[in-house]
């Protein structure tokens, strides 16, 4: 899953795409490099990010979603707002990536009515303040129990079980140590029976380990991606498409060789 942020303030690619053509070119490039999905967002959810109105968020992403129908791969809309999700589905998005796991009371209805797939991510609190308290009594149980309950709520609202993906929310209200713990414990989440998505790409805990700025975190991000696969993740949300895709291809080749030997 390639990341395309149409925001002025995203931590890694904010402000990069000044117009629709630039965004489409970037998306085409991601497809050439091996993306299977493009995840487009119009609101930064980095720690401390400012809130944008749903109308402003929709204005940022809808022209892209509509034009991206021609790319030939599924478009995912990264939003917490049912209004934005609804309009994006009408414009052609087939996945709703909701970092709040359906806190907007209308979200599940919108996803069900639009026949979209749904990513449910764990985040305690809201982006503006979530790094203020990263202490948990038991982080892994909290994440697994919360996502299990949100998935059940989505199914009760009429969303098909096979359309739901779970995401532990790496970097969302967790300490650097907590993120490492989450990555190691992915199998507990996989056990719930839904595909698992991991978004570790260029995040600050990778930088904290070795003191690197976002642009210098590619190697660490690729390592984290492969490790996530090894622990059962099936969708990787990444900035560095080409490098991650090549690493993943080699990884799967080796894994299939290993299983035959």
Mind telling me the catalytic residues?
203, 237
Between helix 107-114 and helix 139-156 the angle, nearest 10°, is: 60
Q: For the window 191-220, what string marks contact with ligand HH2 as x by the rule CB under 6 A?
A: ------x-x---------------------
**Which listed residue (45, 87, 204, 221) binds ligand HH2 by CB under 6 A?**
45
Q: What's the Rg (C-alpha) of the chain?
A: 17
Query: Interface with ligand HH2 includes 42 (CB under 6 A)?
Result: no
C-beta of 18 vs 259, nearer to ligand HH2: 18
- With tokens 């990010």, the residue in question is 49
Q: Let me know: does 203 contact 183? Beta carbons within 8 Å.
A: no
Q: For the window 92-131, what string marks contact with ligand HH2 as x by the rule CB under 6 A?
A: -----x-x-------------------x-x----------
- With tokens 């990513």, the residue in question is 119
Query: Interface with ligand HH2 includes 79 (CB under 6 A)?
Result: no
Q: Find, among 162, 128, 124, the residue nearest to 143 by Cα.
A: 124
Query: Interface with ligand HH2 includes 179 (CB under 6 A)?
Result: no
- With tokens 């009429």, the residue in question is 158
**Which listed residue (46, 80, 81, 174) binds ligand HH2 by CB under 6 A?**
46
CB of 182 to ligand HH2, least distance (A): 11
Report the alpha-carbon distance of residue 186 to residue 253 in Å, rounded: 22
Query: Interface with ligand HH2 includes 178 (CB under 6 A)?
Result: no
Size of the site for ligand HH2 (CB under 6 A): 20
C-beta of 73 vs 255, nearer to ligand HH2: 73
Burial tier of 254 (Cβ tally within 10 Å: 0-12, 13-18, 19+):
exposed
**Which listed residue (170, 183, 226, 229) binds ligand HH2 by CB under 6 A?**
170
Query: Interface with ligand HH2 includes 12 (CB under 6 A)?
Result: yes
> In degrees to the nearest 10, what's the CA dihedral of 22, 26, 28, 29?
140
- With tokens 């609202």, the residue in question is 157
Determine phi and psi for 119, rounding to 5 degrees: -100, 125
**By the criterion CB under 6 A, which residues form the site for ligand HH2?**
3, 5, 7, 10-12, 41, 44-46, 78, 97, 99, 119, 121, 167, 170, 197, 199, 237
């Amino acid at each position: 899953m390639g990341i395309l942020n149409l925001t002025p303030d995203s931590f890694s690619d904010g402000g990069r795409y000044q117009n629709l053509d630039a965004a489409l070119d970037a998306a085409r490039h991601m497809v050439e490099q091996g993306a299977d999905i493009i995840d487009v967002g119009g609101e930064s959810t980095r720690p401390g990010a400012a809130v944008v109105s749903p109308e402003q968020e929709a204005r940022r992403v809808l022209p892209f979603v509509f034009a991206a129908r021609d790319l030939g791969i599924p478009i995912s809309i990264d939003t917490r707002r049912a209004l934005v999700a609804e309009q994006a589905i009408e414009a052609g998005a087939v996945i709703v990536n909701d970092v709040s796991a359906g806190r907007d009371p209308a979200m599940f209805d919108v996803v069900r009515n639009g026949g979209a797939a749904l990513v449910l991510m764990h985040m305690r609190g809201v982006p503006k303040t979530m790094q203020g308290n990263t202490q948990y009594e038991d982080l892994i149980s909290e994440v697994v129990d919360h996502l299990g309950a949100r998935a059940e709520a989505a199914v009760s609202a009429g969303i098909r079980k096979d359309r739901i993906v779970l995401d532990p929310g790496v970097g969302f209200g967790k300490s650097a140590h907590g993120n490492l713990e989450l990555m190691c414990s992915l199998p507990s989440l996989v056990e719930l029976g839904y595909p698992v998505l991991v978004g570790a790409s260029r995040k600050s805990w990778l930088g904290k380990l070795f003191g690197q700025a976002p642009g210098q975190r590619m190697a660490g991000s690729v390592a984290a991606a492969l490790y996530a696969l090894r622990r059962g993740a099936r969708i990787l949300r990444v900035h560095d498409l080409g490098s991650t895709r090549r690493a993943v291809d080699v990884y799967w080749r080796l894994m299939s060789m290993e299983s035959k030997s």
